[in-house]
Structure 1
Amino acid sequence: MGRDIWSEWLLHRRFGGDARRMQMVLDFLRPIRDKVLHNARLAEGETVLDVGCGDGMIGFGALEKIASGTVILSDISQDLLEYVQSLARDIGLLDRCQFVLAPAEDLSVLDAASVDVVALRSVLIYVSAKQQAFREFYRVLRPGGRLSLFEPINRFGIAASDQPHLFAGYDVTPVMDVAQKVKALYRRVQPIDSDPMLDFDERDLIAYAEEAGFREIHLELQVAIVPPEEDDWHAFIRTPGNPKIPTIEEAMRQVLTLDEMERFTACLRPLVEARQGIHRRAVAYLWAVK
């Protein structure tokens, strides 16, 4: 039996089979992890809940920063929980870890006021019931407990990227008709107006935290409009942006004829390899105190 979509993407597909890209992704994520943990203001002996732990980067990072204390690693993927449990065993930290199968919006397996820190990275983008998730974060935190999170604000740049002559930030005017077929597939899989990856921005995060009851809330928004970093065509077409969507290569095969694939590739590949595009991205760090 194969892995679930979450573990398959997190451990394999997001790197597109490219070792260099894997290193780039990890180098990109480590400073994010460090900032999330810095904003959490960890202290010795505390209990940290890593929500949507994935490969354990946040949770194991917390254990590195405090010599004593416990980390609860929670996720909706049993495969990923087994993976991080194996890692914890290998690095001798199993006695400081707990493992919980639970979604962010239903942490009822944990008692109220039972943890000191709730930390997460790129989890709410997969959660439809975001307000309920914030209520759960608040419930499980002890008085004075801290919430620290990072989320991409994918709504930023959507209007620009949806222009018919653009595909992934590249000007594909000569093959707009073909590009629209590929983009339509992605829009069917993740509708702009309803998909949880696209249905919120930084103001919503603040509102969710306030409604949940947090008494002190901070948010830092980072916005960048930059040339793309990727110049490897094969990594570009074989790396899905998230667990729920096909790769560009898979999408082309689903909706394009062989002739259309050749035209699309002939236009897009030189642009990717020359980094002749624009990427618009925004991310938010939020930290709050109960």
Structure 2
Amino acid sequence: MRDLGEPEVEADVWSDWLLHGRHGRDLDYEPIMLAAVAKIRDRVLDGAKLISGMTLLDVGAGDGLLSFEALRRVEQPFSVILSDVSAPLLKRAEHLATDLGLRAHCSFIQTPAQTLAAIADESVDVVTSRAMLAYVEDKPSAIRSFLRVLKPGGRLSLGEPIHQDAAVQLTALTRVLRSEPENSKTPYLSLLQRWRGLQMPSTSAEIRSNPLTNFSERDLVQLFRDAGFANVHMELHMDVKSGPAMPWSTFIEIAPQPGVPCLREIFEHHFTAAEVALLESGMRADVESGRLTGQNTNVYLTAEKLC
């Protein structure tokens, strides 16, 4: 694992995950992760139908992944507003924009998606977002804000992960294990349930209360219709495949979501040494050989604000 220098920024839960947690702090694995994210970025920007002369609002811009690619794609004049709730990420994005020679075409606004404060009504041509709305508790307010800032005839394009199915499956496993006598439970499955239950909702009540899991792809379509968007188009993409081979030390450092403990932290605080050994013996070979299978579910949604 290499430790390369990077611009110094103060951390919050969002910046710590985006800059470190999602790739397990392994700078050799980071390009592999970023290549997968770039495919999502490109689909979102393809749906935006960007042309010269537009102003793009990138909501939940993070470190500028969508914004900077949009600026590379489109001839000037073209400008981007990067908005995010995280001040550290906006600061990092501004540093990157300067390094890339794009600063003159960018503005940076710290604001929650629910209000998009300081962004004027009917002031942007396109709204984009990637993996942001899933974390917003008040999704209807955020979607109404998207509509408010769009000019008549404006367009929205976003990509969002859908986690409800995975949470429902975990809930089913939780229910089965709780109904079994203690001496009949499969130890390995029990460890899997405990691990995953510390990273995502594992009961029906938790699913309903968690903004990451309390909506489906159909719910998302209805939310945009209810807000007043027209020509709503949604594509659901489900990929079940083996993940890339990686060191076990990297795998246990990866946090699946911001603010969620990685497996190493779960081992340290919630598992005995014997339990750690059992789970590792059942998974490590598959992780390091690239045989560990998982499912990724993403929604790509476009919509328009009528004139």
Q: Quick check: TM above 0.5?
A: yes
Are residue 13 (structure 1) and residue 17 (structure 2) matched? no
Are residue 178 (structure 1) and residue 191 (structure 2) matched? yes
Pairing 1:111-190 to 2, within 5 Å after superposition: 111-162=120-171, 163=173, 173-187=186-200
Are residue 242 (structure 1) and residue 250 (structure 2) matched? no
Q: Give the Cα separation in 2 of the matches to 1:26 and 1:118.
A: 22
Shift of 1:124: 0.7
Quick one: percent identity of the two aligned structures? 38
Pairing 1:90-101 to 2, within 5 Å after superposition: 90-101=99-110
Q: Which residue of 2 aligns with 1:258?
A: 273
Q: How many residue pairs are counted as aligned between the two chains?
A: 285
Q: Give the Cα separation in 1 of the matches to 2:190 and 2:228.
A: 49
State which drifts further: 177-186 or 276-285.
177-186
Pairing 1:14-53 to 2, within 5 Å after superposition: 14-53=22-61
Q: Which residue of 2 aligns with 1:268?
A: 283
Q: Give the Cα separation in 2 of the matches to 1:230 and 1:245.
A: 22
Q: Which residue of 1 aligns with 2:219?
A: 204
- TM-score under structure 2 length normalisation: 0.86
Over the residues paired in the alignment, what is the CA RMSD in angstroms? 2.3
Code of the residue aligned with 1:178 in structure 2: it is: L
Q: Structure 1 residues 147, 15: CA separation in 2 closer, same or farther (over 3 Å shift)?
A: same
User: What per-residue deviation string (whole Å, max 9, x for no partner) do you get for residues 88-146 of structure 1?
Assistant: 11122111111000111111211110000000100011101111111000000000000
Query: Match of 2:214, SS?
Result: coil
Q: Give the Cα separation in 1 of the matches to 2:196 and 2:46.
A: 38
Q: Give the Cα separation in 2 of the matches to 1:189 and 1:80.
A: 30
- TM-score under structure 1 length normalisation: 0.91
Q: Which residue of 1 aligns with 2:116?
A: 107
Q: Give the Cα separation in 1 of the matches to 2:170 and 2:247.
A: 21
Code of the residue aligned with 2:303 in structure 1: it is: A
Shift of 1:257: 1.8
Q: Which residue of 2 aligns with 1:86?
A: 95
Q: Give the Cα separation in 1 of the matches to 2:43 and 2:291.
A: 31
Q: Give the Cα separation in 1 of the matches to 2:141 and 2:253.
A: 35
State which drifts further: 172-181 or 91-100.
172-181
Q: Give the Cα separation in 2 of the matches to 1:137 and 1:30.
A: 23
Q: Give the Cα separation in 1 of the matches to 2:41 and 2:186.
A: 39
Contact 1:157-1:281 at 8 Å conserved across structures: no
Q: Structure 1 residues 283, 188: CA separation in 2 closer, same or farther (over 3 Å shift)?
A: closer
Contact 1:155-1:198 at 8 Å conserved across structures: yes
Are residue 4 (structure 1) and residue 12 (structure 2) matched? yes
Q: Structure 1 residues 230, 151: CA separation in 2 closer, same or farther (over 3 Å shift)?
A: farther
Shift of 1:46: 0.8
Pairing 1:47-66 to 2, within 5 Å after superposition: 47-66=55-74
Q: Structure 1 residues 282, 178: CA separation in 2 closer, same or farther (over 3 Å shift)?
A: closer
Query: Match of 1:7, SS?
Result: helix
For structure 2, the residue ranges without an aligned partner over 5 or more in a row are: 1-8, 178-184
Q: Which residue of 2 aligns with 1:169?
A: none
Code of the residue aligned with 2:63 in structure 1: it is: D
State which drifts further: 276-285 or 239-248.
276-285
